[in-house]
Chains A and B, each alone.
Chain A
Amino acid sequence: MAQAKTQTIDSATNKSQTPEPAVLNGAELLIRTLKDIKVDTIFGYPGGAVLPIYDALFDEHDINHVLIRHEQAGAHAADGYARATGKAGVVLVTSGPGGTNTVTGIATAAMDSIPLVVFTGQVPTELIGNDAFQEADIVGITRPITKHNYLVKDVNNLEQVVREAFHVATSGRPGPVLVDLPKDMLNTECRYSGLKKISIPSYKPTEEGHATQISKAAQLLSEAKKPLIYAGGGAVLGEAWEELTAMAERLNIPVTTTLMGLGGFPESKPQSVGMLGMHGTYYANMAMTECDVLLAVGARFDDRVTGRLDGFSPHSKKIHIDIDPSNIGKNVPVDIPIVGDVKKVLPSIDRQATKPDTEKWWDTINTWKREHPLKVPDSETTIKPQLMIERISHYTNGEAIVVTDVGQHQMWAAQHYTFNYPRSFLSSGGLGTMGYGFPAAMGAAFGCPDRTVVCITGDGGFQMTAYELATAVEYEVPLKIAIMNNECLGMVRQWQELFFNKRYSHSILKKGNPDFVKLAESYGAVGLRATNPKEMDEVLEQAMAINDGPVVMDFKVEEHENCYPMVPSGAALNEMVEGDE
C-alpha cells in the first residue's frame, strides 16, 4: 500500500546528535541542510562544477546517492520517486550539459505538478556570462518549466534557499524548483544555522475553500439528478483519496478519473466509471456528456479530457475545486469555483450535502457499462496487448506500482489494469514524454522498496532510456520491465492507419529493434521472451520470483491492434470510435 509522507520543513525537533563543525564550505552546508530536510535519496551525475558536493558526499551515509547514467533519466527517476512517495525528488547534476540534459525531465514534472528539487552546478561567479567552459544559463533555460528557480551567489543565502526550494516544490500546487550553484560559492566557508521557519511573504497558497462557495456546491450536488465527480491528478497529489472515496460512497455519485487521477478512487468500487477522455471508457465519456452537475476535483480540463470544447458536458453546472486559481475557468467556464486544498474542501462539501436521488442515473450508467464494456479480444496464438495488461494486473493482484511510458501501451495499461490504490499509476500525462517510464519506475522502486514496481513500456520508448539498465543492475533494483513489443511506434502507426490513409511514414521499428533479451543480458539483467499467451504466463510467473535485480520481459504482441475507444481529435467526447469489431 502507498505510504503518504510529506516532507517536513520544520526541523526544530530534529537536531542532529553529532556536534556541528564550526565551519563548513558551501558544499558541506548543502549536504548538511539536505539531511536536515530528511532527504534520503539523490539521483545524480558528477562533473567539474559539482566536485565539491561529490566530495562532501563521499563520507555521507544518511543520503543514498544513485549514480544514474544520463541526467534526463535522473530527473525522471526523481520524478518517479516523488510520485510514488509524495516527497520531493532530488536531482544533482553538473553545469552546462548536466543541466541541459535535465530539461525534458523538469518539463515533464512541471506539466504534471510533481515536486522536484534540481541542483545544478554552475561556473564560478566571476566567470558567469563569459561563455566559460560548461557554462549554460540554466536559470534562464528552465524559467518557463520550473515553479521557481534560484541562482545562489552568496553562500550566506544557501541554507535559506535550499529550505525555500523544498517548501515551494512541495506546497500549494507542487512543481519543480531548480537551484543553480556556482562552484566558488560551494568552496566558500560558512556556518550552518539550522534556521527553521520558512516564510515567503509573496507566496501563500490558499488552502481553505470559501465557505459560501462550499455551501452552494453542496446544495447543487444534493439537488442533482445526474451528478458526476471528475477527479484529476490533484486528488492524488493532494492526498484526498480517502475523502473522495467517503463522499462518493455516501452520496452514491459516480466517479471518473483522468489519466493522472487513476488510483485516486478505487476502480473496484461500484461508483467507479473508470477513466475518461481520448481513450476513456464509453460509460465515463457518456456520463460526462449527460451529467447535470459536474464536480471537478483537482483536474484541469485538459484537451485530451474534454474533446471538442463546445460538446464537452454541455448540460452540466460545473463546480471546480483546485489549489491553483489559474486552472479554474482556463479552458471551460465554471459556475462554482472553489480555490483550495481538495483534502480540506471535499469533507466540508460532504458534511453539508445530502444524498441526491441518483437511481435512474445509475440505471442509465449501468446499461452503458453492460452494453459497452472495455474489450479484451481473444487469441490463442498471439498476445493481444489488452490481455498482456490483464495478466500483469492478475500476477500483481492489482497492487503494483505501475509505471508506463507513452503510447498505446500506456493507454491500454490505464484501461485494463485495475487501479485501487493511489500513487500506483505513474505516467507522463501532460508532456507525454517517451523515455519516462523505465527511469521513473526505477525511482519509484528506490522510494518504495516494499512494493512491486512494474514498468510497462513500448519497444520505441524503452530504447530512449534503456541505458539505465546499468543503474538498475548496479543497485539490484527489483524492477519488472514489460515491453509491449509491437515492433512499431504503435500510437503513431494507429493515427497513420486511421487518419493518414495507412501511410506508415517512419513508424515501423521492425528492422532496427535490438534483441531485448540479449540487451538485458549484456547489462547483467535477466531477459525473458514470450510470443504467445501461454509463454506470457510462464514469463510473468518467473519474473515475479526474481527479487535481486531487474527483469526485462519482451512480449511480442499483435502488431496491428488499435487502442479503443478513441475520441478522434476535434470530436466531442460522445463521438467515440469504439473499434473494429
Chain B
Amino acid sequence: MKQTNNVTKEKTVEKHTLSVLVSYNLNALSRIIGIFSGKGFEIDSISFGSGKKSDLARITITTHGDVQIIEQITKQLNKIIDVVKVNDLTYDSFVDRELALIKVTATRSSRSEIMQIAQVFRAKVIDISPEKLTIEVTGNRDKVNAFIGMLYPFGVDEVARTGSVALKREFDGNV
C-alpha cells in the first residue's frame, strides 16, 4: 500500500476534563449530551450546576479519546448556540473534586476498621445504623475510586457520585 500523509495523527487515548459555560436551560443541556450520544463520543462523568451568574450553568465533563476526537468534541460543543465557552482544562493546571456517598455493611467487628480506613482518606461518617455506615468522601476521581475499592471487601451496598467538578488553577506554579 502507498505511504500517505493522511494518517499522521497520534491515536493515543487520553483523559480530558472539559469545563463548559452555557446558558441555563434544559434544551442546551440536552444538546450537549446529544453531541456525545449522536456522534459517538464518550462521557466518563458529567456534572451540571449554576455558575457565577444564575442564568449560566457550568458543566464539567470528563471524557476520553485521541487528539482528533477531543478536538472534535470541543469544536462541536462550541457550535452549540447556547454555549458561551469551552475550556479543555487538561492543558492547564487545574483542581478537580468529586464527592461520593458510600453505604457500606459494617458489623460490630468491622466497624472500627472501616472508620480507620475512612480516616486515612479524610472521609466522614455521616450516617450510622447497627448494620450500615454511610460515608462521605471528596477528592479527585482516583482517590474516590481507591476509597471505594478499599471498602469493597466489607460489602458496598450503594454508591452515589457527583462526577468531577473542576476549575483552572490561578497560580501556574512558576516561581
Contact = CB atoms under 8 A, between A and B. Distances in A.
A326 interface: yes
Nearest to B30: A143
A325 interface: yes
Interface string A60-97: 00000000000000000000000000000000000000
A314 B38 contact: no
B34 A203 contact: no
A147 interface: yes
Contacts of B38: 144
A333 B84 contact: no
B1 A310 contact: yes
Contacts of A149: 27
B23 interface: yes
B4 A329 contact: no
A148 interface: yes
B116 interface: no
Contacts of B3: 314
Interface residues of B toward A: which range?
20 to 34
Contacts of A202: 22-23, 81-84
A168 B2 CA distance: 44
A326 B80 CA distance: 11
B68 interface: yes
A162 B31 CA distance: 20
A148 B4 contact: no
Contacts of B6: 309-310, 312-314, 332-333
Contact of A151 (B22, B27, B31, B78): B27
A147 B76 CA distance: 11
Nearest to A314: B4
Contacts of A200: 81
A201 B84 contact: yes
A377 interface: no
B72 A144 contact: no
Given A144-B38, A310-B4, A332-B6, A326 B84 contact: no
A202 B22 CA distance: 8
Contact of A143 (B4, B5, B34): B34
A298 B137 CA distance: 51
Interface string A523-543: 000000000000000000000
A140 interface: yes
A148 B27 CA distance: 10
Contacts of B124: none
Interface in A320-355: 324-326, 329-330, 332-333
Contacts of A147: 81
Contact of A329 (B5, B22, B30, B68): B68
Interface of A: 139-140, 143-144, 147-151, 168, 200-203, 309-315, 324-326, 329-330, 332-333
Given A143-B31, A147-B81, A201-B84, 12 more contacts: A143-B27, A143-B30, A202-B22, A310-B1, A310-B2, A310-B7, A314-B4, A314-B5, A326-B72, A326-B75, A329-B71, A330-B72
18 contacts: A144-B34, A147-B81, A200-B81, A202-B84, A309-B6, A310-B2, A310-B4, A310-B6, A311-B2, A311-B4, A314-B3, A324-B79, A325-B75, A326-B75, A326-B79, A330-B72, A332-B6, A333-B6
